[in-house]
């Protein structure tokens, strides 16, 4: 019975399968398709008869499973199949449960399943055998001999085999080609095959013949493949899980049974090792994740607050990394050498607290202001000695100081620019505007959110963004209220400018006042007055952004645009404040330098008087020992600058933390606990919990970093301070976010503005190095403090090193190289190179855009083509159905009555014409002639018959053909 | 002494707060300051003043006119937290859609929402309105009668809601409530809802509409309905009555019963 079905199956398949298999050369990518085709060709070939029997038997022998092919083997085949089926049913019941196997299963019942699946592998196997003919053939022969009953005629001569195989390959050239591509990975499998075949009598499933083993192995492989590709399958998760579990169980169960004896052990060992290795890899991945600092914290925050808040923390971490490196540089190359190898405290005037300050040098208030002992320590510029080398290592302290100062800035530039470039690559050339709704539709969800409330918020924000987008789209069409909007925007900007000017003036005023205080002497003033500048700057930096935020609601921008405006304004505010501060500092530097001149003069006078006095007293001129604390000294403006920056950082940090504690924590506590006894809902209504202000925080961080860059030349302790600050704020802010903030109502995605922040950082870096470089280059260092004391300019240290530490030819080369005649062309060249690179990148971008457009066009074209093809197919189908109906009816009609023919035609015709709506206009002449008899349906059919073949629809010609022959004859009647 | 410059630095904060919360300041002014002032000047309660205004300005027997007059008084003259015209539309729509036969209103206040509900009820429907305060109830009664609804349509019950609800079944022969409108003390939303559940008056498909769930707000109530699973619920977001900038919402609950 099975046989019969088998034959039926064969009879049905061959013709079209032959056709398809012949023109399927491009389908090799799709494995399943290929399998199918191959199985079909195989079947077809089997029908080719006895001529190729030999060849086929050969193939079968080689492949192991092909034994079931030949006609005379059919009996055996069916038996075998039965057995294998039973085995299958017994050993892997789950096969039937797998849906992707269902077609195969169906084929199996038709006797084809195993073959269909196996053919491709057999192809591969054969290819492999081609390579290692000798041993494999032996093995195969051995294997064949063992199954005496089924393979009675299997005494094949090896010599002829080669030849026949060649023929076989000719027939299946295409398939071979396909198999070739994938044959390499099968090598190990092949080995296993050999091992299997070699000692198959030690098996646990002793009853298994090599064929079945092969089958089992293939099933196992298939399961493995399935497990791998499971993720991409378009199934429901439940089904996937079920399939995965089943497959894993199956593999677990039968993997061990595959190899036998030695090979089996080896195989099991291999499998075991693979598993161990995978586990190790996974653990290692976990370990790596655990090693990233704060990763878990950030992930948690990300799941609660969305990626934008998380991006702030990632930014913070990145900043922390950079500051660690800056700190390492300054600490390792400047502070530690000076502290360990330089002259100790108290050995020189610059390293000693002056006598006047000694009494209060240890007071907390003084130390908190970084005066007293803090001022005369490695933390500040003034402490460093100008001796060329320190310690037994001959460490070049001044040079190191200078190079570290330059190196930190250079490193920062490098890192920022590199990150920017990487970000730019990631963001690509996406234009968000052209497919606004599609973008929103498919990309707006933040998949990292793991908190229900945040998800709600995100959902709401997506819906609102949709609403807004729709509104925008509508408004862009009508733009009625544009004048009002414009006016409001101008007004908002005006207000913001007023605010900026006000804050700038306030800072200027405060700085001037502080100078007055400084002239009066700081001791006469209160703490508030002394710290006025920092306080005012911090407060303004904190409150003005809020005001901007409120003002920006006037403008009615899209939130993303509004965010950028907001960022720009805060940026302007911070920058204005910072530069006001710097300008004030410059004034102070000039004051100090004037003071310094006087002091310098006084000191010479003092020294002269001292020496004169001693000389006059005793002529031996022994060195006078004066306590360094008593030596008069200059004001050392560098230390002053450093101190100012450190104070600024400290006050900034304090403000941030206090704001956090009061604005967030205290508020949250109040809201939370007062809510029990309040007349409205504090949590949802008026004060509510605060939201995490990403933009403000990021900008604060950026400006903080700018101050570090600016001040770290004069205060080497700044990176250390900043590291501490960032470390604390990491923990503090993580905690504050999780405990007292609520997710924003408008949850942004962070990716868009990432590079925006980076660009800001770059600008700030540039703007903050500017004053530092200016002071280094244009102002001479103090005469009695710092590593460059006694030099005309700070960078003279390079010259000095070149002259004394390098061979003369080097300094010569260097002086040549620094010749403007050489430097200028070099700069020119660099500019040209940059220009070139920039233009090429621009052209690439354009090309990208073009390609994108092209892709889009092609897509559209394809869509149209597909649509047309579908339409055509539908029409063909319709037409075929019509024809069939027509024929039937014609038959009926011819049997019934010849005279009624025309009526039937017309009745058939009309619905058809109405349906297609494509009644070709009859030629005017013919129509005019037949006008009187236009009621006659025959004429219509006639016209139609003439026009049909040239019409748009191919159906008409054939449809009216049977009528064409008859209708004229009717008319002739 | 704090220097004036530091004080000046707080100016942006002050401005921000004023601008940001201007609606709340306005509300505070209208609902509290004016009320105290008028109470002192006229010696009447707020509700009485509102009723006087309605009596002199509205057409008796015409609920629409009465409602409009109330709206005018509340938005132009003083402030009473009625449901207001905007949220009232939502209420109307729900009533129109479901045409409930038995309606319970918790918190009639001065009758605005009672008139509003009674206006859109189908024929033969009955509205039970519960008001705790005697004075308010008297005014509500007058307003309802003024609008032309008789005892058959609207029954005003002057008692605290937590006393009335358990007795609804026995005293008023109620089998099932089709629609419940809550607009009384926000703190009572949750206990009253639980009481309603316990009384068994809610059937599958009964609708409960709670006003002012965001401002002044009933957080426990919202938390409860989120968790309980007895309801299909949604929040109609709107603004507080007679005020543009304060967000408020109404919670619409559809009782599903225990699944």
Residue A207: its pLDDT value, please?
59
Identify which of A286-300, A346-360, A711-725 has the greatest average pLDDT.
A711-725
| Rounded Cα gap, residues B7 and A499, in angstroms | 16
- How far apart are the CA of A512 and the nearest CA of chain B, in angstroms? 12
Alpha-carbon A271 to chain mean position = 34
The residue in chain B having the minimum alpha-carbon distance to the alpha carbon of residue A678 is B216
| Rounded Cα gap, residues A907 and B101, in angstroms | 59
Interface check for B12 against chain A (CB to CB < 8 A): the answer is: yes
Per DSSP, which regions of B53-199 are E strands? 102-106, 126-131, 154-158, 177-182
Residue A44 has pLDDT above 50, yes or no: no
A543 interaction partners in chain B (CB closer than 8 Å) = 9-13, 16
Residue B247 CB burial class (10 angstroms; 0-12, 13-18, ≥19): middle
Give me the helices (H) in A147-260, please: 158-171, 173-183, 187-198, 210-229, 237-258
Top pLDDT among A454 and A179 is at: A454
What is the tens place of the pLDDT at every residue in A223-248?
888 888 877 777 888 888 888 888 88
Report the pLDDT averaged over residues A909-931.
43
* pLDDT-based confidence at residue A970 (cuts at 50, 70, 90): very low
Residue A926 has pLDDT above 70, yes or no: no
For chain B, the C-alpha Rg in angstroms (whole number) is 20
Report the pLDDT averaged over residues B128-147.
90
Residue A49 has pLDDT above 70, yes or no: no
B10 interaction partners in chain A (CB closer than 8 Å) = 539, 543
How much is the mean pLDDT over chain A?
Answer: 71
CB contact under 8 A, A528 and B1: yes
Of A232, A262, A256, nearest to A244 by C-alpha is A232
Q: What percent of chain B has pLDDT over 70?
A: 99
How much is the mean pLDDT over chain B?
Answer: 88
Helix A261-291 / helix A187-198 crossing angle, nearest 10 deg: 150
Interface of B with A in 74-133 (CB under 8 A): none
Interface check for A500 against chain B (CB to CB < 8 A): the answer is: no
Q: Which residues pair with B236 in a beta bridge?
A: B250
Interface check for A670 against chain B (CB to CB < 8 A): the answer is: no
- How far apart are the CA of B232 and the nearest CA of chain A, in angstroms? 16
Of A310, A416, A300, nearest to A694 by C-alpha is A310
For this structure, is B212 an active site residue?
A: yes
Helix B219-228 / helix B189-199 crossing angle, nearest 10 deg: 40
A103-107, A523-527, B105-109: range with lowest mean pLDDT: A103-107
Which residues have a Cβ under 8 Å from the Cβ of A550 and sit 6 or more positions away? B15, B16, B19, B20
Residue A759 CB burial class (10 angstroms; 0-12, 13-18, ≥19): middle
Interface check for A674 against chain B (CB to CB < 8 A): the answer is: no
For residue B156, give both structure tokens. Answer: 């005003």
Top pLDDT among A144 and A254 is at: A254
A620-634, A700-714, A859-873: range with lowest mean pLDDT: A620-634
Which of B10, B12, B217 is opposite residue A681, by nearest beta carbon?
B217
- The CA angle B175-B181-B186, to the nearest 5 degrees, is 120
For residue A802, give both structure tokens. Answer: 């070149």
Report the pLDDT averaged over residues A810-836.
89
A525 interaction partners in chain B (CB closer than 8 Å) = none
B246 interaction partners in chain A (CB closer than 8 Å) = 685
CB contact under 8 A, B215 and A683: no
Interface check for A216 against chain B (CB to CB < 8 A): the answer is: no
A581-585, A736-740, A890-894, B252-256: range with lowest mean pLDDT: A890-894
A335-344, A369-378, A686-695: range with lowest mean pLDDT: A686-695
Which of A503, A528, A542 is opposite residue B6, by nearest beta carbon?
A528
ipTM of the complex: 0.75
Place of tokens 């085999």: A161
Residue A421: its pLDDT value, please?
84
Q: Which of B2, B3, B218 to mutate to test the interface with A (most CBs of A within 10 A)?
A: B3
B216 interaction partners in chain A (CB closer than 8 Å) = 679-681, 685
CB contact under 8 A, A540 and B5: no
Pairing of strands A690-691, A741-742: parallel
- The CA angle A322-A327-A329, to the nearest 5 degrees, is 100
The residue in chain A having the minimum alpha-carbon distance to the alpha carbon of residue B13 is A543
For this structure, is B192 an active site residue?
A: no
CB contact under 8 A, B12 and A499: yes
| Rounded Cα gap, residues A320 and A970, in angstroms | 98
| Rounded Cα gap, residues A66 and A481, in angstroms | 80
Residue A224: its pLDDT value, please?
82
A512 interaction partners in chain B (CB closer than 8 Å) = none
CB A318 within 8 A of CB A326: no
CB contact under 8 A, B12 and A547: yes
**What's the Cα-to-Cα distance from B214 to each of A166, A458, B184, B237, rounded to whole Å?**
83, 19, 14, 9
CB contact under 8 A, A544 and B12: yes
Which of B3, B12, B186 is opposite residue A543, by nearest beta carbon?
B12
Residue A946 has pLDDT above 50, yes or no: no
- Of B141, B241, B248, B252, the active-site residue reads B241
Residue A182 has pLDDT above 50, yes or no: no
A539 interaction partners in chain B (CB closer than 8 Å) = 6, 9-10, 13
| Rounded Cα gap, residues B120 and B95, in angstroms | 6
Which of B225-233's residues contact partners 24+ apart within 8 Å by CB, and which partners?
Answer: B225/B193, B225/B251, B225/B253, B229/B259, B230/B197, B230/B255, B230/B256, B230/B257, B230/B258, B231/B255, B231/B256, B232/B256
* pLDDT-based confidence at residue A4 (cuts at 50, 70, 90): very low
Interface check for A513 against chain B (CB to CB < 8 A): the answer is: yes
Helix A14-22 / helix A2-12 crossing angle, nearest 10 deg: 50
- How far apart are the CA of A678 and the nearest CA of chain B, in angstroms? 10
* pLDDT-based confidence at residue A111 (cuts at 50, 70, 90): very low
CB contact under 8 A, B20 and A499: no
For this structure, is B211 an active site residue?
A: yes
> What is the CB-side half-sphere exposure of residue A792 using CA atoms within 13 A?
4
B157 — phi, psi (to 5°)?
-115, 120
Of B68, B38, B40, B94, nearest to B208 by C-alpha is B94
Interface check for A666 against chain B (CB to CB < 8 A): the answer is: no
| Rounded Cα gap, residues B212 and B184, in angstroms | 10
- Of B183, B192, B248, B252, the active-site residue reads B183
Identify which of A155-164, A629-638, A722-731, B230-239 has the greatest average pLDDT.
A722-731
Report the pLDDT averaged over residues A720-736.
93
Whether the model clears a pTM of 0.80, i.e. scores above it, the answer is no
Top pLDDT among A702 and A452 is at: A702
A392-401, B169-178, B241-250: range with lowest mean pLDDT: B241-250
Residue A324 has pLDDT above 50, yes or no: yes
Residue A767 has pLDDT above 80, yes or no: yes
CB contact under 8 A, B12 and A536: no
Count of C-beta atoms within a 10 Å radius of residue A859: 10
Residue A476: its pLDDT value, please?
65
| Rounded Cα gap, residues B211 and B214, in angstroms | 9
Interface check for B219 against chain A (CB to CB < 8 A): the answer is: yes
Residue A309: its pLDDT value, please?
83
CB A621 within 8 A of CB A614: yes
Interface check for B217 against chain A (CB to CB < 8 A): the answer is: yes
Residue A361: its pLDDT value, please?
79
Q: Which of A506, A526, A543 to mutate to test the interface with B (most CBs of B within 10 A)?
A: A543
Helix/strand/coil for B229: coil
Using H for helix, E for strand and C for coil, what is the string for A686-702? CCCCEECCHHHHHHHHH
Which residues have a Cβ under 8 Å from the Cβ of B179 and sit 6 or more positions away? B94, B95, B98, B100, B102, B103, B104, B206, B207, B208, B209
Q: What percent of chain A has pLDDT over 90?
A: 13
What is the tens place of the pLDDT at every residue in A512-563?
787 788 777 666 777 777 778 878 888 888 888 888 888 888 887 776 677 7
Residue A836 has pLDDT above 60, yes or no: yes
CB A256 within 8 A of CB A116: no
What is the tens place of the pLDDT at every residue in A675-692?
777 777 777 666 778 888
- Of B133, B178, B186, B192, the active-site residue reads B186
Interface check for B50 against chain A (CB to CB < 8 A): the answer is: no
CB contact under 8 A, B12 and A506: no
CB contact under 8 A, A684 and B10: no
* pLDDT-based confidence at residue A171 (cuts at 50, 70, 90): very low
Top pLDDT among A430 and B76 is at: B76
Identify which of A239-253, A508-522, B63-77 has the greatest average pLDDT.
B63-77
Which of A506, A547, A681 is opposite residue B216, by nearest beta carbon?
A681
Interface check for B2 against chain A (CB to CB < 8 A): the answer is: yes
Place of tokens 């070049």: A396
Top pLDDT among A781 and A289 is at: A781
The residue in chain B having the minimum alpha-carbon distance to the alpha carbon of residue A512 is B5
Report the pLDDT averaged over residues A304-311.
79
- How far apart are the CA of A437 and the nearest CA of chain B, in angstroms? 24
Of A769, A655, A763, nearest to A712 by C-alpha is A769
Of A919, A928, A967, A971, nearest to A947 by C-alpha is A919
- How far apart are the CA of B26 and the nearest CA of chain A, in angstroms? 13
Top pLDDT among A790 and B14 is at: B14
| Rounded Cα gap, residues A467 and A461, in angstroms | 10
- How far apart are the CA of A532 and the nearest CA of chain B, in angstroms? 7
A160-174, A802-816, B137-151, B233-247: range with lowest mean pLDDT: A160-174
Interface check for A329 against chain B (CB to CB < 8 A): the answer is: no
Residue B209 has pLDDT above 80, yes or no: yes
Residue B216, preceding bond cis, omega within 30 degrees? yes
B220 interaction partners in chain A (CB closer than 8 Å) = none
Count of C-beta atoms within a 10 Å radius of residue A240: 14
CB contact under 8 A, A528 and B12: no
Of A391, A399, A409, nearest to A334 by C-alpha is A399
Residue A201: its pLDDT value, please?
42
* pLDDT-based confidence at residue A644 (cuts at 50, 70, 90): confident
Residue A96: its pLDDT value, please?
43
* pLDDT-based confidence at residue A353 (cuts at 50, 70, 90): confident
A640-644, A666-670, A705-709, B217-221: range with lowest mean pLDDT: B217-221
């Amino acid at each position: 019975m099975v046989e019969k079905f088998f034959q039926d199956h064969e009879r049905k398949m061959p013709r079209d399968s032959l056709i398809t298999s012949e023109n399927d050369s491009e389908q090799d990518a799709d494995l399943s398709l290929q399998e199918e085709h191959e199985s079909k060709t195989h079947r077809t070939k089997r029908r080719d008869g006895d001529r190729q029997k030999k060849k086929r038997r050969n193939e079968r022998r080689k492949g192991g499973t092909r034994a079931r092919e030949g006609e005379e083997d059919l009996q055996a085949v069916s038996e075998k199949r039965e057995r294998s089926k039973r085995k299958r049913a017994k050993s892997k019941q789950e096969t039937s449960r797998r849906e992707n196997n269902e077609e195969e299963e169906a084929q199996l019942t038709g006797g084809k399943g195993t073959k269909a699946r196996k053919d491709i592998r057999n192809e591969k196997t054969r290819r492999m055998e081609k390579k290692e003919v000798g041993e494999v053939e032996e093995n195969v022969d051995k294997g064949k001999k063992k199954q005496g009953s089924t393979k009675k005629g299997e005494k094949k001569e090896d010599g002829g085999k080669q030849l026949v195989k060649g023929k076989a390959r000719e027939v299946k050239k295409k398939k071979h080609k396909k198999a070739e591509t994938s044959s390499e990975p099968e090598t190990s499998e092949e080995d296993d095959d050999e091992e299997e075949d070699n000692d198959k009598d030690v098996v646990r499933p002793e009853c298994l013949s090599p064929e079945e083993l092969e089958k089992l192995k293939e099933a196992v492989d298939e399961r493995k493949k399935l497990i791998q590709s499971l993720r991409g399958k378009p199934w429901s998760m439940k089904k996937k899980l079920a399939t995965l579990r089943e497959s894993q169980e199956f593999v677990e169960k039968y993997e061990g049974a595959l190899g036998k004896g030695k090979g089996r052990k080896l195989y099991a060992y291999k499998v075991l090792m693979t598993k161990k290795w995978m586990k190790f890899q996974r653990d290692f991945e976990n370990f790596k994740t655990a090693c990233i600092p704060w990763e878990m914290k950030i992930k948690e925050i990300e799941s609660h607050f969305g990626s934008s808040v998380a991006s702030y923390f990632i930014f913070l971490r990145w900043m922390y990394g950079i500051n660690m490196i800056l700190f390492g540089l300054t600490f390792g190359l400047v502070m530690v050498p000076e502290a360990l190898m330089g002259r100790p405290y108290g050995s020189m005037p610059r390293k000693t607290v002056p006598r006047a300050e000694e009494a209060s040098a240890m007071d907390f208030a003084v130390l908190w202001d970084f005066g007293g002992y803090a001022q005369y320590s490695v933390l500040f510029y003034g402490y460093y000695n100008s001796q060329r080398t320190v310690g037994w290592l001959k460490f070049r302290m001044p040079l190191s100081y200078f190079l570290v100062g330059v190196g930190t800035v250079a490193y920062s530039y490098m890192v920022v620019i590199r990150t920017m470039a990487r970000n730019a690559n990631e963001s690509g050339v996406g234009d968000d505007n052209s497919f606004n709704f599609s973008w929103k539709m498919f990309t707006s969800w933040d998949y990292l959110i793991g908190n229900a409330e945040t998800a709600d918020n995100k959902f709401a924000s997506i819906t609102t963004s949709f609403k807004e987008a729709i509104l925008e789209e509508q408004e862009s069409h009508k733009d009625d209220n544009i004048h009002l909007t414009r006016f409001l925007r101008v007004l908002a900007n005006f207000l913001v400018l007023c605010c900026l000017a006000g804050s700038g003036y306030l800072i200027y005023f405060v700085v001037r006042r502080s100078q007055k205080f400084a002239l009066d002497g700081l001791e006469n003033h209160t703490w508030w007055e002394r710290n006025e500048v920092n306080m005012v700057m911090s407060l303004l930096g904190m409150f003005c952004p809020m005001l901007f935020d409120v003002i920006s609601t006037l403008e009615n921008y899209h939130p993303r645009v509004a965010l950028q405006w907001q960022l720009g304004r805060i940026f302007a505010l911070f920058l204005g404040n910072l530069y006001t501060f710097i300008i004030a500092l410059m004034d102070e530097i000039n004051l100090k330098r004037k003071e310094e001149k006087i002091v310098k003069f006084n000191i010479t006078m003092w020294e002269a008087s001292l020496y004169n006095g001693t000389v006059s007293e005793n002529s031996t001129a022994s060195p006078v020992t004066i306590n360094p604390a008593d030596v008069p000294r200059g004001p050392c403006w560098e230390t002053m600058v450093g101190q100012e920056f450190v104070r600024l950082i400290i006050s900034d940090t304090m403000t941030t933390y206090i704001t956090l504690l009061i604005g967030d924590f205290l508020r949250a506590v109040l809201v939370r606990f007062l809510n029990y006894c309040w007349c409205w809902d504090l949590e949802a209504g008026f004060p509510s919990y605060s939201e995490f202000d990403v933009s403000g925080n990021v900008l604060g961080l950026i400006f903080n970093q700018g101050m570090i860059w600016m001040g770290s030349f004069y205060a080497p302790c700044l990176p250390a301070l900043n590291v501490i600050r960032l470390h604390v704020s990491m923990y503090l802010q993580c905690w504050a976010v999780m405990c007292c903030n609520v997710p924003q109502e408008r949850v942004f995605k962070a990716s868009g503005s990432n590079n925006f922040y980076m660009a800001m950082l770059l600008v700030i870096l540039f703007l903050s190095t500017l004053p530092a470089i200016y002071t280094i280059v244009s102002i001479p260092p103090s005469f009695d403090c710092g590593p460059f004391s006694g030099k005309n300019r700070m960078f003279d240290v390079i010259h000095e090193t070149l002259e004394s530490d390098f061979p003369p030819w080097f300094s010569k080369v260097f002086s040549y190289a620094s010749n403007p005649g050489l430097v200028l062309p070099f700069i020119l060249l660099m500019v040209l190179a940059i220009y070139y690179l920039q233009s090429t990148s621009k052209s690439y971008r354009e090309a990208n855009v073009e390609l994108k457009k092209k892709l889009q066009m092609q897509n559209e074209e394809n869509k149209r083509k597909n649509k047309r093809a579908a339409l055509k197919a539908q029409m063909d189908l319709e037409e075929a159905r019509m024809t069939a109906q027509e024929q039937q009816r014609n038959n009926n009609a011819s049997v019934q009555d010849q005279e009624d023919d025309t009526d039937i035609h017309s009745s058939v015709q009309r619905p058809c014409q109405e349906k297609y709506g494509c009644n070709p206009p009859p030629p005017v002449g013919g129509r005019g002639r037949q006008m009187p008899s236009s009621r006659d349906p025959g004429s219509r059919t006639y016209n139609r018959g003439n026009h049909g073949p040239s019409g748009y629809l191919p159906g008409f010609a054939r449809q009216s053909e049977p009528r064409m022959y008859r209708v004229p004859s009717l008319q002739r009647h | 002494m704090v220097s004036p410059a530091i004080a000046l630095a707080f100016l942006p904060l002050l401005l921000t707060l004023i601008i940001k919360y201007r609606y709340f300041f306005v509300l505070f002014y209208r609902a509290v300051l004016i009320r105290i002032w008028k109470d002192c000047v006229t010696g009447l309660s707020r509700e009485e003043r509102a009723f006087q205004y309605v009596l002199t300005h509205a057409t008796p027997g015409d609920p629409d006119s009465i409602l409009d007059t109330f709206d005018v008084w509340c938005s132009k003259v003083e402030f009473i937290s009625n449901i207001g015209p905007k949220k009232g539309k939502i209420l109307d729509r729900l009533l129109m859609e479901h045409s409930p036969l038995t309606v319970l209103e918790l918190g009639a206040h001065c009758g605005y929402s009672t008139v509003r509900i009674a206006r859109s009820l189908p024929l033969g429907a009955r509205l039970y309105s519960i008001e705790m305060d005697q004075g308010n109830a008297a005014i509500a009664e007058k307003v309802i009668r003024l609008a032309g609804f008789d005892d058959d349509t609207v029954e005003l019950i002057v008692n605290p809601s937590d006393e009335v609800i358990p007795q609804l079944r026995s005293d008023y022969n109620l089998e099932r409530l089709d629609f419940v409108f809550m607009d009384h003390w926000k703190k009572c939303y949750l206990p009253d809802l639980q009481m309603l559940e316990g009384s068994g008056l809610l059937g599958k498909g009964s609708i409960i509409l709670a006003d002012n769930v965001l401002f002044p707000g009933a957080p426990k109530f919202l938390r409860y309905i989120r968790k309980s699973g007895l309801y299909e619920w949604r929040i109609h977001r709107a603004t507080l009555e007679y005020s543009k900038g304060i967000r408020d919402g109404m919670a619409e609950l559809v009782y599903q019963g225990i699944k």
